[in-house]
Structure 1
Amino acid sequence: MSQPQNTAARRLVETLVVNGIDKVFCVPGESYLAVLDALADVRDRIEVITCRHEAGAANMAEAYGKLTGKPGVCMVTRGPGATHASIGVHTAHQDSTPMILFVGQIALTDRGRGAFQEVDYREVFGGLAKWATELESPERTVEVVERAFATALQGRTGPVVVALPEDLLHADGGPAPQRAVVPAKAALDPAVLAQIGERLKAAERPLIVVGGSGWSTEASHALADWAERHMIPISGSFRRKDIISNDRTNYAGDLGLGCNPKLTARAKAADLIIAIGARLGENPTQGYTLFDRDHTAGVLVHLHPGPEELGRVWPTLISGVADNSLAALALTTLEPGRDWRAEGEQAHADFRAFSTPVAVTGAVNMSECMAHLMDAVPEDAVVTNGAGNFAAWLHRFYRHRACRTQLAPTSGAMGYGWPAAIAAKAVDREREVVCVAGDGDFLMTGQEMATAVQHGLNPVVIVVDNGTYGTIRMHQEGHYPGAERVIATDLKNPDFVLWAKAFGAYGVRCETTEDFPAALEDARDAAIARRVPALVHLITSAEDIAPGRTISGMRGG
């Protein structure tokens, strides 16, 4: 039976429609059935993607937010559903991604009784989200949801959590939404821009660092053109390689885990660092060791949409509150009257050398496989990954050539890559999407293969199987070397080809570097021609634990 047209559930869905949301990622629950029923009436405008685990659904919503710039919307039920989804909220917070998590909640009349699956969501998500709230007055539904959009999109973008008491969803929802939320964006203060211009003219060793979310293609290209014209070395922050094309002749690489030592040396020696959107947190600053506070106080220009990030860790020479894209576009109006050709050319030469394949001991050379992947797929292909040592090969040897082609969690969340790949396909079904996942990483959310098949989404996943939790094993070997000390890091994996086929996907096994091009081509052909998800089971050796590192070498062998 259809519900009345003015319920809180319907007002919520109307607000999503008005704000241009075309995808909702969910695991259904009885606590928000009224919202699902309202979504049934707008199937022509909002696609509901049913997932197999709330962590997968939340990761998909986070990836949607990264790709589109609109809040990714996830819906889950109370208690276990919400806590499963918390990983996606954490990633959205660390990665500055707009996202809204709607959680079905116990009836408002039962609150405080310890009811079935009762959770205080303000308390649980208070430190993970920009705002965590609960609907308490159904007639204010549109107000609360519009505030969720504004909060997610303004300043440093991020996640919002809204709990929905099931009894209120059937009540009168109050006024209907009138228009979409248009987020306010701060432009760079002209006085700050002028100060930057003066410092840039005097700099001998400048470095630009770009990071954060929400970059427009226009701003990315404009900044890249300007920096390359003046040959200012430019680098990406951790897992932000796609903001600037890595083929630019002044591109210096990315500041992240396993960073090029020559890039870290360049950053330490810079007499002017212009950071746009990057928070300069633990990973891009090599555990807060890349800089020291005395140094940054004299050289750091920090531009960020969130004023709370400025001066949080590093004293600055100049600070500016501005939207990432607007800050970048403002910077391109500066004319320093000179270039830094020698610096830019050397920075790019260092990057090219560092991203050239290296030798390994096993039958599969991941550096060559990632270099081939780059050559095989279109420049606008989206490449995703979760967390693990496998990602070091991808980040070092795959060069991104277009904006918004990298989906990777700066939070270091395992299991992110595969749901992100599914979301990327949902956003654009004609764009190629490839996930690179470790064996331990993949099985965190591998059940979402069923989601991909059910919804006709066809990314390719390369499962890098070395039979171990590689990152933990590397640290284990470093701190407690010796075969007899290995504990809890070995993995017994399935035959991933048979596993993929059981879902109705395509699978192919690969055990040598020489066979990888054909295996990848088979998988891409299956995904493109048959329009099914495809999996490459790539068998690698744990001995080659990271680029340039082996287990035996760590043991002194």
Structure 2
Amino acid sequence: MPEQSAGHLIVESLKAHGVHRVFTVPGESFLDVLDGLYESGVENVVCRQEGGVTYMAETHGKLTGEPGVAMVTRGPGASNAFVGVHMAWQDSTALVLFVGLVPVNHREKEAFQEFDPHQWFGTQAKRVMVLDEADRASEYVAEAFFAARSGRPGPVVVGLPEDVITQLTDAPVVDPIPVTEGAVGAEDLAELRTALESARRPAILLGGPRWTPQASRQVTAFAERHGIPVISDWRAADRIRDDSPVAAGELGYNRTKDTLAVLTDADLLLVVGGTLSDIPTDGFRRRQGRSENNWIVNIDAALRQHSGAVTRQILASPVAFGAALEGLELSEHPDWTDWREPAVRAQREFRRIPDTAGDNAPGTADMELVMKQLLTHLPEDTAVTTGSGNHTAWAHRYFPKGDYPCQFSVRNGTMGYSVPSAVAISLEQPDRFVFSVSGDGEFLMNSQELATAAQYGAHPLIIIVDNSQFGTIRGHQERHYPGRVSGTQLQNPDFATVAQGYGAFGARLDSNEDIERVLAEAVKAVTEDRIPAVVHVIADRAKLLPGM
């Protein structure tokens, strides 16, 4: 191999791994990698804050199943990027974060922006690696991608000392390391068949990583063939289509009692892809007994995040399990109709926007009417993004989940995700309709990434639910400290004007009479003018959630 710098070899290695886009905020600590990106054919999406960098890279990982690639500088840059690393850890998303570091001979001297990546990221990354030998640059890329993708996916951090990446090397590009999907043995299938055939109240819980559209279809088809109710993990509702006759709802904070009953009353629960973690089990209170019959299909041998009994673990990804289910047919079993239908009917009713929508305070627009009108514009393959907060319920409840993947949200409760994630999806799939529901507090945490959208041609529709408060925390205050609201009220700018300043379409919506016109104009801006659109909805502060 001809000599090249380690920084340039890293870029060549990224290309060998199929990377065509990276997300960065530039820094002097990794200039040679930035130079390697020049004329490489890899698009460098320059974001406005490192949190936006890792949010976009994490979204790319969720969307494609391949690691999203983020690059930031040392010290403050790495600190800002940490939020996305924590999210990728708890959301089980493949992410590779490259961080520029001080020169090797500056270590342990408190040099400018010096920090220890092992100490900072060691508890929230699958691996933390520091490149100290230029000849190993490509090897480190291959190891990082393998670690990020294998087993339960997650973030990997690679430190790049600025002097090491400028050193010349003739080392070759290391090929990608294949990742196993695990396997479902004949004995696994035979025992699962026997267990299902004898169950009176079986249920399937879908969630976690390593899904594909085909795996989603295969698992759904098995459940539909045999009439087994399917419930979804929190913010993982797109593993099964909403219109499936066995879809029984999503677990989480905004659910029906019938969906919860499927979880708690099932005499056999088959968990595919995910685990019984905190939120779906109500803080580790559901299905924790030793007698619970919990079958877990998960490629993570360690079953991190799982709590409660495990009857049997099948060490396979949803891809391997879905393929195995195509050959699994049940014989005689109890009629599960009466067990399944109450939750299925309740979920369909729960998703229906009530005819009483429109009972809102003067000077506001009713979000139920906004969602009802918006649904008339959404194509079949629409993607939705949300961050964290009460405002997410409008999308989680009413947005019709279609084919996987279409729901992009956060399991670690982070705010500020909605805008960067919408931008990342629009960049990767520019012909797809992407819309985001943001809260007023959440939007301002990363609204600057509208500039990134405008610069690179992303064109999502962003709905801002403005009730001038951190509504989730306000709700907790009202429950625990009634009459003592404190520290949760906000004074907001005119978000429509802010959007226009970024070159996006911006409109303010403060009456029900204008909903149809404003949304039509916003959709036109996105689909025909292909620019970002922001609709600033002045919401009734008394309606924190749908149905209130």
Return the TM-score normalized by structure 1. Answer: 0.94
* Matching residue's letter, 2:15: V
Q: 1:141–1:173: 8 Å Cα contact kept in structure 2?
A: no
SS in structure 1 opposite 2:15? helix
C-alpha distance in 2 between matches for 1:136 and 1:260: 54
Which deviates the most, 441-450 or 275-284? Answer: 275-284
* Matching residue's letter, 2:314: G
Offset of residue 121 of structure 1: 0.4
Runs (4+) of structure 1 moved beyond 4 Å?
358-361
Offset of residue 312 of structure 1: 4.3
C-alpha distance in 2 between matches for 1:504 and 1:257: 36
Aligned to 1:35: 33
C-alpha distance in 2 between matches for 1:357 and 1:351: 12
C-alpha distance in 2 between matches for 1:478 and 1:94: 28
Aligned to 1:301: 295
Aligned to 1:13: 11
Which deviates the most, 418-427 or 136-145? Answer: 136-145
Aligned to 2:445: 444
Q: How does 1:305-454 map to 2 (within 5 A)?
A: 305-309=299-303, 312-337=306-331, 338=333, 340-358=336-354, 359=356, 361-363=359-361, 364-454=365-455
Offset of residue 311 of structure 1: 9.1
253, 256, 259: which is aligned to 2:252?
Answer: 256
Q: Does 1:287 align with 2:283?
A: yes
Q: How does 1:160-179 map to 2 (within 5 A)?
A: 160-179=156-175
Aligned to 2:63: 67
Offset of residue 333 of structure 1: 2.4
Aligned to 1:466: 467
SS in structure 2 opposite 1:376? coil
SS in structure 1 opposite 2:179? coil
Offset of residue 396 of structure 1: 1.5
Q: Relative to 1, partners in 2 of residues 1:373 and 1:205: Cα closer, same or farther, differing over 3 Å?
A: farther
C-alpha distance in 1 between matches for 2:174 and 2:74: 30
Aligned to 1:522: 521
* Matching residue's letter, 1:458: H
Which deviates the most, 304-313 or 119-128? Answer: 304-313
C-alpha distance in 2 between matches for 1:375 and 1:320: 42
194, 199, 203: which is aligned to 2:195?
Answer: 199
SS in structure 1 opposite 2:302? helix
Return the TM-score normalized by structure 2. Answer: 0.95
Which deviates the most, 214-223 or 486-495? Answer: 214-223
The number of equivalent residue pairs is 540
SS in structure 2 opposite 1:544? coil
Q: How does 1:163-242 map to 2 (within 5 A)?
A: 163-242=159-238
Offset of residue 310 of structure 1: 6.7
Offset of residue 321 of structure 1: 1.2
Percent identity between matched residues is 39
Q: How does 1:50-129 map to 2 (within 5 A)?
A: 50-129=46-125
C-alpha distance in 2 between matches for 1:120 and 1:386: 30
Q: 2:276–2:306: 8 Å Cα contact kept in structure 1?
A: no
Q: Relative to 1, partners in 2 of residues 1:143 and 1:59: Cα closer, same or farther, differing over 3 Å?
A: same
Offset of residue 174 of structure 1: 4.4
Q: 1:206–1:232: 8 Å Cα contact kept in structure 2?
A: yes
Offset of residue 21 of structure 1: 0.5
Q: 1:251–1:344: 8 Å Cα contact kept in structure 2?
A: no
SS in structure 2 opposite 1:414? coil
C-alpha distance in 2 between matches for 1:18 and 1:348: 46
Q: Relative to 1, partners in 2 of residues 1:186 and 1:174: Cα closer, same or farther, differing over 3 Å?
A: farther
C-alpha distance in 2 between matches for 1:150 and 1:232: 35
Q: 1:305–1:322: 8 Å Cα contact kept in structure 2?
A: yes
Offset of residue 367 of structure 1: 3.2
C-alpha distance in 2 between matches for 1:123 and 1:198: 49
Q: Relative to 1, partners in 2 of residues 1:355 and 1:529: Cα closer, same or farther, differing over 3 Å?
A: same
C-alpha distance in 2 between matches for 1:518 and 1:212: 39
C-alpha distance in 2 between matches for 1:381 and 1:331: 28
Q: 2:4–2:169: 8 Å Cα contact kept in structure 1?
A: yes
Q: 1:231–1:343: 8 Å Cα contact kept in structure 2?
A: no
Aligned to 2:536: 537
C-alpha distance in 2 between matches for 1:132 and 1:39: 23
Offset of residue 80 of structure 1: 0.6
Q: 1:379–1:400: 8 Å Cα contact kept in structure 2?
A: no
Deviations 1:427-478 (A, max 9, x none): 1111111011000011100010111111111111001101000101100111
Deviations 1:103-148 (A, max 9, x none): 0000011111111111100111011111111111111111111000
SS in structure 1 opposite 2:128? strand
* Matching residue's letter, 1:500: A
Structure 2 portions without partners, runs of 5+:
none
* Matching residue's letter, 1:320: I
C-alpha distance in 2 between matches for 1:32 and 1:291: 49
C-alpha distance in 2 between matches for 1:282 and 1:312: 8
* Matching residue's letter, 1:216: T
Q: 1:138–1:174: 8 Å Cα contact kept in structure 2?
A: no
Aligned to 1:149: 145
* Matching residue's letter, 1:209: L
Deviations 1:164-215 (A, max 9, x none): 0000011124422153332222112332222111100001111101101221
C-alpha distance in 2 between matches for 1:81 and 1:40: 21
Q: 1:458–1:533: 8 Å Cα contact kept in structure 2?
A: yes
Q: Relative to 1, partners in 2 of residues 1:347 and 1:17: Cα closer, same or farther, differing over 3 Å?
A: same
SS in structure 2 opposite 1:307? coil
* Matching residue's letter, 2:415: M
C-alpha distance in 1 between matches for 2:345 and 2:79: 46
Q: 1:249–1:344: 8 Å Cα contact kept in structure 2?
A: no
* Matching residue's letter, 1:487: S
Q: How does 1:499-518 map to 2 (within 5 A)?
A: 499-518=498-517
Offset of residue 19 of structure 1: 0.5
Q: Relative to 1, partners in 2 of residues 1:36 and 1:441: Cα closer, same or farther, differing over 3 Å?
A: same
Q: Relative to 1, partners in 2 of residues 1:543 and 1:5: Cα closer, same or farther, differing over 3 Å?
A: farther
Structure 1 portions without partners, runs of 5+:
550-557
Q: 2:60–2:424: 8 Å Cα contact kept in structure 1?
A: yes
Q: Relative to 1, partners in 2 of residues 1:25 and 1:311: Cα closer, same or farther, differing over 3 Å?
A: closer
C-alpha distance in 1 between matches for 2:169 and 2:155: 24
C-alpha distance in 1 between matches for 2:169 and 2:157: 19
